[in-house]
Amino acid sequence: DAVVHWFKRDLRVHDNTALSLASKMAKEKGVGLIGLWILSPQDWEAHLVSPPKCDFELRSVGILQKELAKLGIPLHMEVLPERKNISKLVVKLCQEWGVKNVFCNLEYEPDELRREERLVRTCLENAIAFNPYHDDCIVPPGTLQTGTGKQYAVYSPFFRSWVAHLHAHPDLLQERPPPSPNPPGFQTGRFAHFFNEPVPEVPGSKQIDPEFKARLEQLYPAGEAAAVSRLEHFLTEKIGAYKDTRNFPAKNSTAVVSVHHAAGTLAARTSVRMARDVNSTKKLDGGNEGIRSWISEVAWRDFYRHVLVHWPYIAMHKPFKYEYTNIRWDYSPEHFTAWTEGRTGYPIVDAAMRCVRSTAYMHNRLRMIAASFIAKHLLLDWRLGEQYFMTHLIDGDFASNNGGWGFCTSTGVDPQPYFRVFNPWLQSAKFDADGEFIRKWVKELRDVEGEGVHNPYEKGGEAARIAERNGYPRPIVEHKFARERCLRRYKEGIGRE
Ligand code: FAD
Protein backbone atom coordinates (compact mmCIF):
# COMPACT_ATOMS: atom_id res chain seq x y z
CA ASP A 1 0.00 0.00 0.00
CA ALA A 2 1.17 3.57 -0.69
CA VAL A 3 -0.14 7.09 -1.29
CA VAL A 4 0.37 8.85 -4.63
CA HIS A 5 0.99 12.53 -5.25
CA TRP A 6 0.42 13.45 -8.88
CA PHE A 7 2.73 16.36 -9.84
CA LYS A 8 1.47 18.74 -12.48
CA ARG A 9 2.29 22.45 -12.40
CA ASP A 10 3.75 22.11 -8.91
CA LEU A 11 7.24 20.78 -9.62
CA ARG A 12 8.61 21.32 -6.13
CA VAL A 13 9.02 19.54 -2.81
CA HIS A 14 8.56 22.54 -0.50
CA ASP A 15 5.47 24.58 0.26
CA ASN A 16 3.29 22.25 -1.75
CA THR A 17 -0.22 21.81 -0.30
CA ALA A 18 -1.29 18.46 -1.76
CA LEU A 19 2.17 16.90 -1.49
CA SER A 20 2.36 17.88 2.16
CA LEU A 21 -1.06 16.37 2.89
CA ALA A 22 -0.28 13.22 0.89
CA SER A 23 2.84 12.75 2.98
CA LYS A 24 0.87 13.33 6.18
CA MET A 25 -1.58 10.61 5.23
CA ALA A 26 1.19 8.20 4.21
CA LYS A 27 2.89 8.76 7.55
CA GLU A 28 -0.34 8.21 9.51
CA LYS A 29 -0.95 4.99 7.64
CA GLY A 30 2.65 3.94 7.97
CA VAL A 31 2.99 3.52 4.19
CA GLY A 32 5.21 5.08 1.53
CA LEU A 33 4.61 8.05 -0.76
CA ILE A 34 5.09 7.78 -4.54
CA GLY A 35 5.35 10.75 -6.88
CA LEU A 36 3.81 10.51 -10.33
CA TRP A 37 4.38 12.81 -13.29
CA ILE A 38 2.71 12.31 -16.66
CA LEU A 39 3.83 13.91 -19.88
CA SER A 40 1.26 13.97 -22.64
CA PRO A 41 2.77 15.52 -25.77
CA GLN A 42 -0.78 15.93 -27.05
CA ASP A 43 -1.51 18.15 -24.06
CA TRP A 44 1.54 20.28 -24.80
CA GLU A 45 0.41 20.59 -28.43
CA ALA A 46 -3.18 21.46 -27.55
CA HIS A 47 -2.14 24.08 -25.03
CA LEU A 48 0.53 25.60 -27.24
CA VAL A 49 3.21 25.06 -24.61
CA SER A 50 6.37 26.66 -25.98
CA PRO A 51 9.46 24.54 -26.64
CA PRO A 52 11.47 26.58 -24.08
CA LYS A 53 8.78 25.90 -21.49
CA CYS A 54 8.74 22.16 -22.30
CA ASP A 55 12.50 22.11 -21.89
CA PHE A 56 12.28 24.00 -18.60
CA GLU A 57 9.66 21.59 -17.26
CA LEU A 58 11.74 18.56 -18.08
CA ARG A 59 14.81 20.10 -16.50
CA SER A 60 12.74 20.82 -13.39
CA VAL A 61 11.31 17.30 -13.31
CA GLY A 62 14.84 15.89 -13.33
CA ILE A 63 15.74 18.04 -10.33
CA LEU A 64 12.49 17.13 -8.59
CA GLN A 65 13.28 13.44 -9.01
CA LYS A 66 16.62 13.95 -7.24
CA GLU A 67 15.13 16.07 -4.44
CA LEU A 68 12.43 13.49 -3.77
CA ALA A 69 14.99 10.69 -3.82
CA LYS A 70 16.77 12.36 -0.89
CA LEU A 71 13.60 11.63 1.10
CA GLY A 72 13.36 8.13 -0.27
CA ILE A 73 10.35 9.15 -2.37
CA PRO A 74 10.37 7.68 -5.89
CA LEU A 75 9.08 9.66 -8.86
CA HIS A 76 7.57 7.68 -11.68
CA MET A 77 7.52 9.51 -15.03
CA GLU A 78 5.24 8.30 -17.74
CA VAL A 79 4.77 9.48 -21.32
CA LEU A 80 1.23 9.09 -22.57
CA PRO A 81 0.40 9.84 -26.21
CA GLU A 82 -3.32 10.47 -25.77
CA ARG A 83 -4.25 12.96 -23.13
CA LYS A 84 -7.82 11.69 -22.84
CA ASN A 85 -6.37 8.54 -21.23
CA ILE A 86 -4.65 10.34 -18.35
CA SER A 87 -7.36 9.53 -15.80
CA LYS A 88 -7.39 5.87 -16.86
CA LEU A 89 -3.61 5.72 -16.51
CA VAL A 90 -3.66 7.22 -13.01
CA VAL A 91 -6.20 4.61 -11.91
CA LYS A 92 -4.36 1.76 -13.63
CA LEU A 93 -1.10 2.66 -11.87
CA CYS A 94 -2.88 2.97 -8.52
CA GLN A 95 -4.33 -0.49 -8.99
CA GLU A 96 -0.95 -1.96 -9.90
CA TRP A 97 0.66 -0.32 -6.89
CA GLY A 98 -2.17 -1.09 -4.44
CA VAL A 99 -2.80 2.63 -3.88
CA LYS A 100 -6.08 3.85 -2.42
CA ASN A 101 -5.34 7.57 -2.25
CA VAL A 102 -4.27 10.02 -4.95
CA PHE A 103 -3.46 13.65 -4.15
CA CYS A 104 -2.90 16.58 -6.51
CA ASN A 105 -3.16 20.35 -6.74
CA LEU A 106 -5.92 21.74 -8.92
CA GLU A 107 -5.43 23.52 -12.23
CA TYR A 108 -8.21 25.84 -13.32
CA GLU A 109 -8.39 25.75 -17.12
CA PRO A 110 -11.53 24.04 -18.49
CA ASP A 111 -9.62 21.11 -20.06
CA GLU A 112 -7.82 20.42 -16.80
CA LEU A 113 -11.00 20.68 -14.74
CA ARG A 114 -12.77 18.29 -17.12
CA ARG A 115 -9.87 15.86 -16.80
CA GLU A 116 -10.05 16.03 -13.02
CA GLU A 117 -13.80 15.56 -13.13
CA ARG A 118 -13.26 12.37 -15.15
CA LEU A 119 -10.67 11.29 -12.63
CA VAL A 120 -13.08 11.76 -9.74
CA ARG A 121 -15.49 9.38 -11.45
CA THR A 122 -12.91 6.81 -12.54
CA CYS A 123 -11.40 6.78 -9.07
CA LEU A 124 -14.80 6.39 -7.43
CA GLU A 125 -15.67 3.45 -9.68
CA ASN A 126 -12.46 1.79 -8.54
CA ALA A 127 -12.73 2.61 -4.85
CA ILE A 128 -9.81 5.02 -4.92
CA ALA A 129 -10.04 8.36 -3.11
CA PHE A 130 -9.11 11.36 -5.25
CA ASN A 131 -7.92 14.31 -3.15
CA PRO A 132 -7.53 17.58 -5.11
CA TYR A 133 -6.45 20.79 -3.32
CA HIS A 134 -6.29 24.50 -3.99
CA ASP A 135 -2.66 25.55 -4.11
CA ASP A 136 -1.94 27.49 -7.29
CA CYS A 137 -3.66 30.68 -6.10
CA ILE A 138 -2.81 32.29 -2.81
CA VAL A 139 -6.48 32.99 -2.14
CA PRO A 140 -8.53 30.13 -3.63
CA PRO A 141 -10.87 31.10 -6.49
CA GLY A 142 -14.42 31.76 -5.38
CA THR A 143 -13.37 33.06 -1.95
CA LEU A 144 -13.63 36.79 -2.59
CA GLN A 145 -16.84 38.55 -3.48
CA THR A 146 -17.94 42.12 -4.09
CA GLY A 147 -20.41 43.79 -1.74
CA THR A 148 -23.23 42.44 -3.93
CA GLY A 149 -21.92 38.89 -3.80
CA LYS A 150 -20.34 38.83 -7.26
CA GLN A 151 -16.95 37.90 -8.62
CA TYR A 152 -14.65 40.92 -8.89
CA ALA A 153 -14.15 42.12 -12.44
CA VAL A 154 -12.10 45.17 -11.43
CA TYR A 155 -8.63 44.75 -10.05
CA SER A 156 -8.26 47.52 -7.41
CA PRO A 157 -11.18 46.46 -5.18
CA PHE A 158 -10.14 42.83 -5.73
CA PHE A 159 -6.67 43.63 -4.45
CA ARG A 160 -8.00 45.46 -1.37
CA SER A 161 -10.23 42.51 -0.58
CA TRP A 162 -7.37 40.04 -1.29
CA VAL A 163 -5.07 41.84 1.18
CA ALA A 164 -7.80 42.06 3.85
CA HIS A 165 -8.59 38.37 3.42
CA LEU A 166 -4.97 37.34 3.81
CA HIS A 167 -4.55 39.50 6.89
CA ALA A 168 -7.63 37.81 8.35
CA HIS A 169 -6.47 34.32 7.30
CA PRO A 170 -2.70 34.25 7.75
CA ASP A 171 -2.75 30.45 7.42
CA LEU A 172 -3.21 30.91 3.65
CA LEU A 173 0.31 32.30 3.49
CA GLN A 174 1.88 29.85 5.88
CA GLU A 175 4.46 27.46 4.54
CA ARG A 176 3.10 23.93 4.09
CA PRO A 177 5.08 21.30 6.06
CA PRO A 178 7.64 19.51 3.91
CA PRO A 179 7.03 15.83 3.14
CA SER A 180 8.51 13.30 5.57
CA PRO A 181 11.04 10.73 4.42
CA ASN A 182 9.56 7.44 3.30
CA PRO A 183 9.81 4.45 5.66
CA PRO A 184 13.20 2.74 5.45
CA GLY A 185 13.18 -0.12 3.02
CA PHE A 186 10.91 1.67 0.54
CA GLN A 187 13.92 2.54 -1.62
CA THR A 188 14.90 -1.06 -2.07
CA GLY A 189 11.42 -2.48 -2.52
CA ARG A 190 9.32 -2.88 -5.62
CA PHE A 191 9.51 0.81 -6.53
CA ALA A 192 13.31 0.96 -6.39
CA HIS A 193 13.70 1.16 -10.16
CA PHE A 194 11.78 4.47 -10.25
CA PHE A 195 14.77 6.17 -8.63
CA ASN A 196 16.83 5.52 -11.74
CA GLU A 197 14.20 6.28 -14.36
CA PRO A 198 15.55 8.59 -17.06
CA VAL A 199 13.69 11.87 -17.59
CA PRO A 200 11.77 11.65 -20.89
CA GLU A 201 13.08 13.47 -23.94
CA VAL A 202 11.36 16.62 -25.19
CA PRO A 203 9.08 15.38 -28.01
CA GLY A 204 10.18 16.16 -31.58
CA SER A 205 7.97 19.13 -32.41
CA LYS A 206 8.96 20.83 -29.17
CA GLN A 207 12.70 20.40 -29.44
CA ILE A 208 15.05 23.38 -29.57
CA ASP A 209 18.51 23.62 -31.02
CA PRO A 210 21.41 22.98 -28.64
CA GLU A 211 22.73 26.53 -28.75
CA PHE A 212 19.31 27.96 -27.74
CA LYS A 213 18.94 25.26 -25.10
CA ALA A 214 22.30 26.13 -23.56
CA ARG A 215 21.34 29.82 -23.46
CA LEU A 216 18.03 29.04 -21.74
CA GLU A 217 19.76 26.80 -19.20
CA GLN A 218 22.06 29.64 -18.34
CA LEU A 219 19.33 32.29 -18.22
CA TYR A 220 16.77 30.19 -16.34
CA PRO A 221 18.30 27.55 -14.09
CA ALA A 222 15.51 25.08 -13.32
CA GLY A 223 14.20 23.64 -10.08
CA GLU A 224 13.03 25.05 -6.78
CA ALA A 225 16.43 25.85 -5.26
CA ALA A 226 17.22 28.06 -8.26
CA ALA A 227 13.81 29.70 -7.90
CA VAL A 228 14.30 30.54 -4.24
CA SER A 229 17.79 31.83 -4.79
CA ARG A 230 16.60 34.10 -7.60
CA LEU A 231 13.79 35.35 -5.39
CA GLU A 232 16.14 35.96 -2.46
CA HIS A 233 18.46 37.95 -4.68
CA PHE A 234 15.53 40.09 -5.84
CA LEU A 235 14.30 40.60 -2.26
CA THR A 236 17.68 41.75 -0.99
CA GLU A 237 18.86 43.74 -3.99
CA LYS A 238 15.93 45.04 -5.96
CA ILE A 239 12.50 44.99 -4.39
CA GLY A 240 12.96 48.21 -2.43
CA ALA A 241 13.16 50.25 -5.64
CA TYR A 242 10.71 48.09 -7.63
CA LYS A 243 7.91 50.65 -7.72
CA ASP A 244 10.14 53.19 -9.43
CA THR A 245 12.19 50.87 -11.60
CA ARG A 246 9.74 48.16 -12.68
CA ASN A 247 8.73 49.79 -15.95
CA PHE A 248 12.20 50.17 -17.45
CA PRO A 249 13.26 47.09 -19.40
CA ALA A 250 16.95 47.99 -19.54
CA LYS A 251 17.18 48.26 -15.75
CA ASN A 252 16.74 44.52 -15.21
CA SER A 253 14.82 45.40 -12.07
CA THR A 254 12.06 42.80 -11.87
CA ALA A 255 12.26 39.37 -10.22
CA VAL A 256 12.05 37.20 -13.37
CA VAL A 257 10.35 34.44 -11.41
CA SER A 258 7.33 34.09 -13.70
CA VAL A 259 8.94 31.01 -15.27
CA HIS A 260 9.01 29.42 -11.81
CA HIS A 261 5.46 30.46 -10.95
CA ALA A 262 4.30 28.97 -14.25
CA ALA A 263 6.04 25.63 -13.77
CA GLY A 264 5.29 25.56 -10.06
CA THR A 265 8.96 25.36 -9.08
CA LEU A 266 8.02 28.32 -6.89
CA ALA A 267 4.62 28.81 -5.26
CA ALA A 268 3.16 32.30 -5.55
CA ARG A 269 2.41 31.83 -1.84
CA THR A 270 6.13 31.43 -1.08
CA SER A 271 6.92 34.58 -3.07
CA VAL A 272 4.38 36.72 -1.29
CA ARG A 273 5.23 35.35 2.15
CA MET A 274 8.93 36.00 1.65
CA ALA A 275 8.23 39.51 0.34
CA ARG A 276 5.93 40.19 3.31
CA ASP A 277 8.63 39.02 5.69
CA VAL A 278 11.17 41.51 4.40
CA ASN A 279 8.68 44.35 4.85
CA SER A 280 9.19 46.38 8.02
CA THR A 281 5.45 46.05 8.81
CA LYS A 282 5.50 42.24 8.28
CA LYS A 283 2.29 42.89 6.37
CA LEU A 284 1.24 42.96 2.75
CA ASP A 285 0.66 46.70 2.90
CA GLY A 286 2.31 49.65 4.59
CA GLY A 287 6.07 49.79 4.93
CA ASN A 288 8.13 49.79 1.76
CA GLU A 289 6.32 50.90 -1.41
CA GLY A 290 8.43 48.61 -3.60
CA ILE A 291 7.34 45.57 -1.61
CA ARG A 292 3.68 46.53 -1.70
CA SER A 293 3.89 47.18 -5.40
CA TRP A 294 5.55 43.81 -6.10
CA ILE A 295 3.01 41.92 -3.99
CA SER A 296 0.24 43.63 -5.92
CA GLU A 297 1.77 42.37 -9.19
CA VAL A 298 1.77 38.80 -7.90
CA ALA A 299 -1.87 39.36 -6.90
CA TRP A 300 -2.72 40.05 -10.58
CA ARG A 301 -1.86 36.40 -11.12
CA ASP A 302 -4.53 35.37 -8.60
CA PHE A 303 -6.97 37.89 -10.09
CA TYR A 304 -6.71 36.48 -13.61
CA ARG A 305 -7.12 32.93 -12.29
CA HIS A 306 -10.23 33.88 -10.34
CA VAL A 307 -11.59 35.48 -13.50
CA LEU A 308 -10.86 32.31 -15.50
CA VAL A 309 -12.66 30.11 -12.98
CA HIS A 310 -15.68 32.37 -12.96
CA TRP A 311 -15.85 33.11 -16.68
CA PRO A 312 -14.29 30.03 -18.35
CA TYR A 313 -15.48 31.14 -21.81
CA ILE A 314 -12.33 33.27 -21.98
CA ALA A 315 -10.47 30.00 -22.58
CA MET A 316 -12.61 29.43 -25.67
CA HIS A 317 -11.25 32.25 -27.80
CA LYS A 318 -13.93 34.68 -26.63
CA PRO A 319 -13.17 38.19 -25.42
CA PHE A 320 -14.15 38.79 -21.80
CA LYS A 321 -16.11 41.83 -22.95
CA TYR A 322 -18.94 40.41 -24.98
CA GLU A 323 -19.55 43.65 -26.88
CA TYR A 324 -16.03 43.39 -28.33
CA THR A 325 -16.88 40.16 -30.17
CA ASN A 326 -17.73 41.95 -33.39
CA ILE A 327 -14.62 43.99 -33.98
CA ARG A 328 -13.44 43.37 -37.54
CA TRP A 329 -9.83 42.19 -37.32
CA ASP A 330 -7.31 41.94 -40.11
CA TYR A 331 -5.29 38.83 -40.93
CA SER A 332 -2.39 40.11 -43.05
CA PRO A 333 0.35 37.45 -43.02
CA GLU A 334 2.94 40.08 -44.03
CA HIS A 335 2.10 42.28 -41.05
CA PHE A 336 2.01 39.34 -38.68
CA THR A 337 5.41 38.12 -39.84
CA ALA A 338 6.89 41.61 -39.62
CA TRP A 339 5.66 41.80 -36.02
CA THR A 340 6.98 38.36 -35.04
CA GLU A 341 10.35 38.96 -36.69
CA GLY A 342 10.78 42.44 -35.24
CA ARG A 343 10.65 44.31 -38.57
CA THR A 344 7.81 46.77 -38.01
CA GLY A 345 10.01 49.86 -38.22
CA TYR A 346 9.02 50.78 -34.65
CA PRO A 347 12.30 50.19 -32.80
CA ILE A 348 10.86 49.51 -29.35
CA VAL A 349 8.38 46.96 -30.75
CA ASP A 350 11.11 45.32 -32.82
CA ALA A 351 13.51 45.17 -29.88
CA ALA A 352 10.83 43.48 -27.76
CA MET A 353 9.98 40.91 -30.42
CA ARG A 354 13.61 40.08 -31.15
CA CYS A 355 14.26 39.73 -27.42
CA VAL A 356 11.51 37.13 -26.98
CA ARG A 357 12.79 35.08 -29.92
CA SER A 358 16.22 35.01 -28.42
CA THR A 359 15.45 34.65 -24.68
CA ALA A 360 11.86 33.31 -24.52
CA TYR A 361 11.08 36.17 -22.11
CA MET A 362 9.78 39.71 -22.45
CA HIS A 363 9.58 42.48 -19.87
CA ASN A 364 6.03 43.40 -18.84
CA ARG A 365 6.14 46.94 -20.26
CA LEU A 366 7.28 45.53 -23.60
CA ARG A 367 4.55 42.90 -23.58
CA MET A 368 2.12 45.78 -23.24
CA ILE A 369 3.68 47.79 -26.06
CA ALA A 370 3.97 44.78 -28.40
CA ALA A 371 0.41 43.61 -27.68
CA SER A 372 -1.08 47.04 -28.12
CA PHE A 373 0.83 47.47 -31.39
CA ILE A 374 -0.34 44.30 -33.10
CA ALA A 375 -3.97 44.83 -32.14
CA LYS A 376 -4.35 48.59 -32.30
CA HIS A 377 -1.78 49.65 -34.90
CA LEU A 378 -1.96 46.64 -37.18
CA LEU A 379 -5.54 45.69 -36.28
CA LEU A 380 -4.53 42.05 -36.40
CA ASP A 381 -6.71 39.69 -34.39
CA TRP A 382 -5.24 39.84 -30.87
CA ARG A 383 -5.66 36.09 -30.51
CA LEU A 384 -2.85 35.60 -33.04
CA GLY A 385 -0.59 37.55 -30.74
CA GLU A 386 -1.86 35.75 -27.65
CA GLN A 387 -1.01 32.43 -29.28
CA TYR A 388 2.36 33.64 -30.47
CA PHE A 389 3.27 34.59 -26.92
CA MET A 390 2.18 31.19 -25.61
CA THR A 391 4.26 29.39 -28.20
CA HIS A 392 7.39 31.44 -27.48
CA LEU A 393 7.42 32.46 -23.82
CA ILE A 394 9.18 30.31 -21.26
CA ASP A 395 6.68 31.58 -18.66
CA GLY A 396 3.60 31.08 -20.89
CA ASP A 397 0.58 30.81 -18.66
CA PHE A 398 -2.95 30.83 -20.02
CA ALA A 399 -4.65 33.01 -17.39
CA SER A 400 -1.91 35.66 -17.09
CA ASN A 401 -1.30 35.76 -20.84
CA ASN A 402 -4.95 35.96 -21.75
CA GLY A 403 -5.48 38.55 -19.02
CA GLY A 404 -2.55 40.62 -20.28
CA TRP A 405 -3.77 40.47 -23.86
CA GLY A 406 -7.29 41.41 -22.83
CA PHE A 407 -5.94 44.34 -20.85
CA CYS A 408 -3.79 45.74 -23.65
CA THR A 409 -6.31 45.25 -26.43
CA SER A 410 -9.26 46.54 -24.36
CA THR A 411 -11.21 43.32 -24.89
CA GLY A 412 -10.51 41.77 -21.49
CA VAL A 413 -11.39 42.15 -17.84
CA ASP A 414 -10.63 45.58 -16.30
CA PRO A 415 -8.85 46.67 -19.50
CA GLN A 416 -7.30 49.83 -20.84
CA PRO A 417 -10.08 51.90 -22.41
CA TYR A 418 -10.32 51.20 -26.15
CA PHE A 419 -9.46 54.78 -27.06
CA ARG A 420 -6.10 54.54 -25.26
CA VAL A 421 -3.76 53.74 -28.13
CA PHE A 422 -0.14 53.59 -27.02
CA ASN A 423 2.17 55.75 -29.08
CA PRO A 424 5.16 53.38 -29.37
CA TRP A 425 7.59 56.28 -29.82
CA LEU A 426 6.43 58.02 -26.65
CA GLN A 427 6.50 54.72 -24.76
CA SER A 428 10.00 54.20 -26.02
CA ALA A 429 11.17 57.70 -25.10
CA LYS A 430 9.67 57.30 -21.64
CA PHE A 431 10.66 53.74 -20.71
CA ASP A 432 13.86 53.30 -22.70
CA ALA A 433 14.93 56.93 -22.66
CA ASP A 434 18.60 56.29 -23.48
CA GLY A 435 17.69 53.67 -26.07
CA GLU A 436 19.79 51.09 -24.24
CA PHE A 437 17.30 48.28 -24.71
CA ILE A 438 16.71 49.14 -28.37
CA ARG A 439 20.42 49.22 -29.17
CA LYS A 440 20.91 45.87 -27.49
CA TRP A 441 18.36 44.12 -29.69
CA VAL A 442 18.13 46.13 -32.91
CA LYS A 443 21.65 45.97 -34.19
CA GLU A 444 20.86 48.11 -37.26
CA LEU A 445 20.40 51.04 -34.87
CA ARG A 446 23.35 50.38 -32.59
CA ASP A 447 25.31 53.33 -33.89
CA VAL A 448 22.44 55.79 -33.83
CA GLU A 449 23.17 58.37 -31.18
CA GLY A 450 20.67 60.25 -29.04
CA GLU A 451 16.92 60.22 -29.33
CA GLY A 452 16.91 59.34 -33.04
CA VAL A 453 17.05 55.71 -31.94
CA HIS A 454 13.35 55.83 -31.02
CA ASN A 455 12.23 56.84 -34.52
CA PRO A 456 15.20 57.25 -36.87
CA TYR A 457 13.35 58.07 -40.08
CA GLU A 458 11.31 60.84 -38.48
CA LYS A 459 14.43 62.27 -36.83
CA GLY A 460 16.20 62.29 -40.19
CA GLY A 461 19.86 63.25 -40.61
CA GLU A 462 22.47 60.82 -39.38
CA ALA A 463 19.91 58.61 -37.56
CA ALA A 464 17.97 58.02 -40.78
CA ARG A 465 21.15 57.49 -42.79
CA ILE A 466 22.38 54.79 -40.40
CA ALA A 467 18.98 53.09 -40.32
CA GLU A 468 18.77 53.16 -44.13
CA ARG A 469 22.33 51.94 -44.61
CA ASN A 470 21.76 49.04 -42.25
CA GLY A 471 18.48 48.07 -43.87
CA TYR A 472 16.27 48.94 -40.89
CA PRO A 473 12.67 48.97 -42.19
CA ARG A 474 10.54 52.09 -42.37
CA PRO A 475 7.41 52.08 -40.16
CA ILE A 476 5.03 49.46 -41.48
CA VAL A 477 2.09 51.70 -40.71
CA GLU A 478 1.89 55.40 -40.04
CA HIS A 479 1.10 56.14 -36.38
CA LYS A 480 -1.53 58.87 -36.78
CA PHE A 481 -3.34 56.95 -39.50
CA ALA A 482 -3.20 53.74 -37.44
CA ARG A 483 -4.56 55.44 -34.37
CA GLU A 484 -7.54 56.91 -36.20
CA ARG A 485 -8.24 53.65 -38.03
CA CYS A 486 -8.12 51.78 -34.75
CA LEU A 487 -10.62 54.10 -33.06
CA ARG A 488 -12.97 53.82 -36.05
CA ARG A 489 -12.74 50.03 -36.15
CA TYR A 490 -13.25 49.60 -32.41
CA LYS A 491 -16.19 52.03 -32.38
CA GLU A 492 -17.78 50.25 -35.33
CA GLY A 493 -17.32 46.86 -33.64
CA ILE A 494 -18.73 47.79 -30.29
CA GLY A 495 -21.51 49.89 -31.77
CA ARG A 496 -20.43 53.27 -30.41
CA GLU A 497 -20.77 56.54 -32.26
P1 FAD B 1 7.72 40.79 -11.68
O2 FAD B 1 7.47 42.19 -12.10
O3 FAD B 1 8.87 40.55 -10.81
O4 FAD B 1 6.38 40.28 -10.95
C5 FAD B 1 6.36 39.19 -10.04
C6 FAD B 1 5.38 38.13 -10.44
O7 FAD B 1 4.05 38.60 -10.43
C8 FAD B 1 5.59 37.57 -11.84
O9 FAD B 1 6.59 36.59 -11.83
C10 FAD B 1 4.22 37.02 -12.18
O11 FAD B 1 4.03 35.73 -11.63
C12 FAD B 1 3.30 38.00 -11.47
N13 FAD B 1 2.85 39.05 -12.39
C14 FAD B 1 3.45 40.24 -12.62
N15 FAD B 1 2.72 40.97 -13.46
C16 FAD B 1 1.64 40.24 -13.77
C17 FAD B 1 0.50 40.46 -14.59
N18 FAD B 1 0.33 41.59 -15.28
N19 FAD B 1 -0.41 39.48 -14.70
C20 FAD B 1 -0.27 38.33 -14.01
N21 FAD B 1 0.78 38.06 -13.21
C22 FAD B 1 1.72 39.01 -13.09
N23 FAD B 1 2.86 36.50 -17.11
C24 FAD B 1 3.08 35.17 -17.08
O25 FAD B 1 3.49 34.66 -16.03
N26 FAD B 1 2.84 34.39 -18.17
C27 FAD B 1 2.38 34.91 -19.34
O28 FAD B 1 2.17 34.17 -20.31
C29 FAD B 1 2.18 36.31 -19.42
N30 FAD B 1 1.76 36.90 -20.58
C31 FAD B 1 1.54 38.25 -20.61
C32 FAD B 1 1.07 38.84 -21.80
C33 FAD B 1 0.83 40.21 -21.85
C34 FAD B 1 0.31 40.82 -23.14
C35 FAD B 1 1.07 41.00 -20.72
C36 FAD B 1 0.83 42.49 -20.77
C37 FAD B 1 1.52 40.44 -19.54
C38 FAD B 1 1.76 39.06 -19.47
N39 FAD B 1 2.23 38.45 -18.29
C40 FAD B 1 2.43 37.09 -18.25
C41 FAD B 1 2.42 39.23 -17.05
C42 FAD B 1 3.82 39.82 -16.83
O43 FAD B 1 4.27 40.47 -17.98
C44 FAD B 1 4.85 38.77 -16.41
O45 FAD B 1 4.35 37.99 -15.35
C46 FAD B 1 6.14 39.44 -15.93
O47 FAD B 1 6.68 40.24 -16.95
C48 FAD B 1 7.13 38.38 -15.51
O49 FAD B 1 8.36 38.93 -15.15
P50 FAD B 1 8.84 38.96 -13.64
O51 FAD B 1 8.76 37.62 -13.04
O52 FAD B 1 10.14 39.66 -13.61
O53 FAD B 1 7.72 39.88 -12.98
How do beta strands 2-7 and 99-105 pair? parallel
Number of alpha carbons in the 13 Å side-chain half-sphere of residue 489? 21
Is 254 known as a binding-site position?
Answer: yes
Please report, for the chain, the start and end positions of each structural domain, with discontinuous segments joined by +. Answer: 1-136, 137-172+211-310, 322-494
Three-state DSSP at 22 gives helix
Quote the CA–CA distance of 183 and 190 in Å, as a whole number. Answer: 13
Specify whether the CB–CB gap between 21 and 361 falls below 8 A: no
- The closest alpha carbon to 209, from 357, 16, 316, belongs to 357
pLDDT at position 126 is: 96
Other Cβ atoms less than 10 A from the Cβ of 490: the count is: 23
DSSP 182-250: PPTTGGGSTTGGGGGPPPPPPPGGG---HHHHHHHHHHS--SHHHHHHHHHHHHHHTGGGHHHHTT-GG
Nearest atom in ligand 1 to the alpha carbon of residue 234 is: 3
How far is ligand 1, taken at its centre, from the CA of residue 400, in Å?
Answer: 7
Q: What's the mean pLDDT in 298-312?
A: 98
Nearest atom in ligand 1 to the alpha carbon of residue 385 is: 34
Superfamily grouping for domain 1-136: HUPs (3.40.50.620)
Which of 85, 364, 423, 470 is catalytic? The answer is 364
pLDDT at position 188 is: 87
| 311: annotated active-site residue | no
Whole-structure pTM value: 0.98
Give the pocket of ligand 1 (CB within 6 Å). Answer: 246, 254-258, 261-262, 297-298, 300-301, 304, 363-364, 367-368, 371, 389, 393, 395-397, 400-401, 403-405, 408
Q: What's the mean pLDDT in 344-365?
A: 98
What are the pLDDT digits (tens) for 74-93? 999 999 999 999 999 999 99
Quote the CA–CA distance of 438 and 271 in Å, as a whole number. Answer: 31
Quote the CA–CA distance of 2 and 185 in Å, as a whole number. Answer: 13
What are the pLDDT digits (tens) for 10-27? 999 999 999 999 999 999
Going by pLDDT thresholds of 50, 70 and 90, the confidence category of residue 133 is: very high
Which of 382, 386, 402, 444 is catalytic? The answer is 382
H/E element, 29: helix 17-29
What are the pLDDT digits (tens) for 206-258? 999 999 999 999 999 999 999 999 999 999 999 999 999 999 999 999 999 99
How far is ligand 1, taken at its centre, from the CA of residue 197, in Å?
Answer: 34
| 439-to-71, 72, 432 alpha-carbon distances in Å | 49, 51, 10
| 431-to-174, 438, 480 alpha-carbon distances in Å | 37, 11, 21
The domain made up of 137-172+211-310 is a member of CATH 1.25.40.80: yes
Specify whether the CB–CB gap between 133 and 21 falls below 8 A: yes
Going by pLDDT thresholds of 50, 70 and 90, the confidence category of residue 497 is: low
CATH of domain 322-494: 1.10.579.10
| 217: annotated active-site residue | no
